[in-house]
Structure 1
Amino acid sequence: MTTPTKTTSTLWVIVAFAVIYVVWGSTYFFIQMAIHGIPPFVMGAIRFLLAGMLMLAWCVFTGEKLGTLKKNKHVFISGVMMLFGGNGALIWAEQSVPSGLAAILVSAGPIWFVLLDKSHWHINFKSKSIMSGLVIGFGGVVLLFSEQLSGALNTHSFAQLPELCVLIFGSIMWASGSLYAKHKAHGTNATVNATLQMLAAGIAFIPGILINNELKGFSVSTVPASAWWAVAYLVTFGSIIGFSAYVWLLKVRSAAQVSTHSYVNPVIAVILGVAFAGEQISIKQVIGLVIILCSVLLINMATYRKAKRRKAATI
């Protein structure tokens, strides 16, 4: 993505947010579909190595400068933190953790962003709209999945404690890696950054395959077609399109604003379930959806006010 003018920059921002809101809202379902036929670390390696190699071919074709290993050190580190530490934790945990409970723990991401982004503490902690938006948004997600949460806590809380801890750790790693990329990974464009981050993450999954002995008994011929279709969707939409949009947004928008995808993704997941899977939605869930959307507006309001004040100062 490029930003040749102020007008196109605004358009790209809207498109990029739409992508990470809608596309990543559907990936919970496709991750579970994929790991039903493919071991989790094998799936992660296939997804990110394939996506990274396709994007690498595109970078070579378009003449993008990839830089040296030393120059891209921070890019590689951020890729491993986000895609292996963050997304890998989700992939591994979704083998047994209900998707609703996983969505609640992952949705704590915006809170971690604010707590870990020390350079913006003086802005975020003084902004009533950002702080109230974070709290209200997390409450909305809990309300949205309150029934699933209640059932999970009654039947799975202690048995799945390791998976829940891994999900929390993964959420922290995603926020940490994103902030690291925003503040450290400079010098290359967003397309090259996303390419190298996915390749680094794909390689990071390989030791997990060996440690878990996931290749034992695994045969490509026994993988159902639905799992391959899910991987194809995750590679194309979740990684190449979605992650590229996310990396670019981190360069042009505040971390707190970009992190709102963690609140919106569960909303999209519920809407898709109602529209295409015949799922039912309760009044409580509708209220949760409205609360989440209001929280996103509150968080974005701080950015809008800041831009308005900056514009007024230049007149």
Structure 2
Amino acid sequence: MNTTHTQQASTFMVIVAFATVYLVWGSTYFFIQKAVHDIPPFIMGAMRFIAAGVIMMAWCIAKGEKLWNAKQVMVASIAGCLLLFIGSGAVIWAERKLPSSLVAVLVSSSALWFVILDKPKWKENFGSGYIITGLAVGFVGVVLLFSEGVSEAFSSTGSLAQVTGLLVLVAGCISWAGGSLYSKYKGSGTALVNTTWQMLAAGLAFFLFSFIAGEWSSFTVASVSDVAWWSMIYLVIMGSLAGYSAYVWLLQVRPATQVSTYAYVNPVVAVLLGVLLAGEKMSMIQVAGLAIILASVVLINIARQRNEQKAPAAKNGVAAKAA
């Protein structure tokens, strides 16, 4: 597979995949916080991704997928460590130190790192006013959405822990964007196989670091609440098997900048779930932030549609000249 170009995919499947990434990942902030309350972060990551990886491998074997291509395994393992161990690991660790609202603000910056790090698309991305405007507007919307929560976080005690958490999150966002692009351009084979090896590699990395961090010395299975276990099950099935698989597939069939819009939509879903399920209230500033975020996604997708319409026209023009 030539991964320097996006593959063709049905519009319906693309819509379903985007809906899964948008909605499911928006809910994972809540469940990560519930799980990490009782389970140490590295142990939690190991449990989540090893379980999901084993299930995915069983599915690959049942489908007769080719699992043992050395180059594919190596690339997928590197991508998995960048994406899941460092990227998702930063979120898991930070949610023990920072309010989820503050975590969501920083994670949304991943969309900006996609543009900065996607060198093959620099000309296209930086040459599109719609894309640049959409990314900037989206980040402003996320800041507005969580501005009140961020102010409260910085006005409280424990500023050193918060600064450390912020730095970890920034590193995680950069690693997530870099790992996504590495997987897109260097990966080969099916999304199913790539996802399997990414999860297993990340799970093993989490497992190793759980010993280095000494988490097992104070952890007992009996101390984990039912809420934490159910949260873990949700993260494995919905967050990893459904959400992450859809994400890896989208990276193969859609431009990375378009896929990165999940970073703006996930906080919207998180807020709406808080209002609907936890009885939280929304201020006018938060409503404005939601509207701005949705407008940013529209701008970015308009740019993509225009670029896709221009591409066939340009090819037809070249063909006409050649004739």
TM-score bracket, shorter-length normalisation = over 0.9
Tell me which residue corresponds to 1:182.
Answer: 184
Contact 1:72/1:185 (8 A) holds in 2: no
**Partner residue, 1:137:** 138
1:230 match: 231
> Which amino acid counterpart does residue 185 of structure 1 have in structure 2?
G
Task: Report the TM-score when normalising by structure 1.
Answer: 0.95
Aligned pairs (5 A) from 1:17-36: 17-36=18-37
The 2-side partners of 1:68 and 1:15 are apart by: 29
Q: For 2:39, what is the secondary structure of its paired residue?
A: coil
**1:201 corresponds to which residue?**
202
Residue type at the aligned position of 1:239: S
Moved over 3 A (4+): 156-159, 310-315
Deviations for 1:165-219, whole angstroms, at most 9, x for unmatched residues? Answer: 0000000000000000000012x10011101100000001122201211111211
Tell me the residue number matched to 1:255. Answer: 256
| 1:43 match | 44
1:245-284 maps to which residues of 2 (within 5 A)?
A: 245-284=246-285
Task: Indicate which of 166, 169, 180 corresponds to 1:167.
Answer: 169
Match of 1:305 in 2: 306
> C-alpha distance in 1, partners of 2:280/2:240?
27
Partner SS for 1:160 = helix
Q: 2: distance between equivalents of 1:69 and 1:91? A: 30
1:100-137 deviations in Å (ceiling 9; x for gaps): 11100110001000001111100000100000011100
Partner of 1:94: 95
Offset at residue 235 of structure 1 (A): 0.2
Question: For residues 292 and 102 of structure 2, what CA distance do their matches in structure 1 show?
Answer: 18
TM-score of the aligned structures, taking structure 2 as reference length: 0.93
Give SS of 1:215's match: helix
* Residues 72 and 187, structure 2, Cα contact 8 Å, conserved in 1: no
- Which one-letter code corresponds to 2:276 in the other structure? A
1:30-79 residue CA offsets vs partner (Å, 9 max, x unmatched): 00000111111000000000000001001101111113334421111001
Task: Give the Cα separation in 2 of the matches to 1:71 and 1:245.
Answer: 19
Tell me the distance in 1 between the aligned counterparts of 2:272 and 2:231: 19
5+ long unaligned stretches in structure 1:
none
Confirm or deny: 8 A CA contact 1:41 1:208 kept in the other structure.
Answer: yes
Other-structure match for 2:290: 289
Which letter does structure 2 place at the counterpart of 1:53?
A: V
Paired residue type of 1:251: Q
Aligned mates of 1:25, 1:200 — CA distance in 2: 24
User: 1:58 is matched with which residue?
Assistant: 59
Greater mean deviation of Cα atoms: 42-51 or 153-162: 153-162
- SS state at 1:181 partner: helix
Name structure 2 gaps, 5 residues minimum: 1-6, 317-323
- Residue 167 of structure 1 aligns with an amino acid whose one-letter code is L
Please give the per-residue CA displacement for 1:210-252, whole angstroms capped at 9, x wherever unaligned.
1211111211122101001000000000000000000000001
Residues 148-157 or 118-127, more deviating: 148-157
The aligned length equals 309
Q: Give the aligned partner of residue 320 of structure 2.
A: none
The 8 Å contact of residues 25 and 269 in structure 1, kept in 2 or not, is answered as yes
Cα deviation for residue 314 of structure 1 reads 6.8
Q: Which amino acid aligns with 2:55?
A: L
The percentage of counterpart residues that share the same residue type is: 55
